[in-house]
Homo-oligomer: A and B are copies of this chain.
Amino acid sequence: MTIANIGVLTPRKQEILDAAKKLFSSKGYVAASMRDLAKALHIKPASLYSHYPSKDEMLWEIAIRCAKEFHEYVLPLAKEEASVVERLDRMLRAHLHMIIKNQDASAIFFDEWKHLEEPRKSEFGKQRDIYEQAFIDVINEGKAEGIFRDINARFTMFTLLSAINWVHKWYRPEGKMSLQEIEEEFSKILIGGLRVGR
């Protein structure tokens, strides 16, 4: 499977997945039932099953489509014409944007995907590896150039993304901090710590 092959959904399927995203992220995938979802959509369970034969099928569709969005939005930034600090900064900001744009899907992208059944779970894991590797590569580049310190690149990638990922749990558009303020704070706190000279 390649992520680029994922096609467009019918409006009906899109509507079902949107409701499933909300339900899975608020109630948790395990606790949410097909019955709950049918109720939220005001349709009969049988009608829901005709579109998606199982919860796993929906979880997969949500997770892999979310992966595709993150990949397409964030990964090209790793190859832009810019310094390594600038590229890492852009990637982290883009990662933040995707989370805020896809708050419900992010809960699934970060946590609930672990409930996928095999072989989907491994397939999803491969896509995550590709995503994470792009960050590791840029961090390693920065180390090789002597701009970043002697840090463990894989560990650093997890630290940076984890620090940002919690945003999906609390961000509200009407909250006290604007997206731009959040971006600036992350950029200061997270990028500053990587640079040589401390």
Contacts and interface: CB of A to CB of B under 8 A. Distances in A.
A115 B164 CA distance: 24
Nearest to A152: B185
Contacts of A158: 166, 170
Query: Can you tell how many copies of this chain the complex includes?
Result: 2
Interface string A16-34: 0000000000011011000
**Interface size grouping (class) on chain A:** 20 to 34
Contact of A188 (B28, B149, B177): B149
A186 B198 contact: no
A191 B188 contact: no
Contacts of A27: 30
Contacts of A195: 192, 198
Interface string A145-181: 0000101100110111011011000100000010001
B155 A185 contact: yes
Contact of A162 (B28, B165, B188): B165
B192 A198 contact: yes
Nearest to A181: B152
A185 B151 contact: yes
A17 to B, nearest CB: 22
Contacts of A194: 189, 192-193
Interface of A: 27-28, 30-31, 149, 151-152, 155-156, 158-160, 162-163, 165-166, 170, 177, 181-182, 185-186, 188-195, 197-198
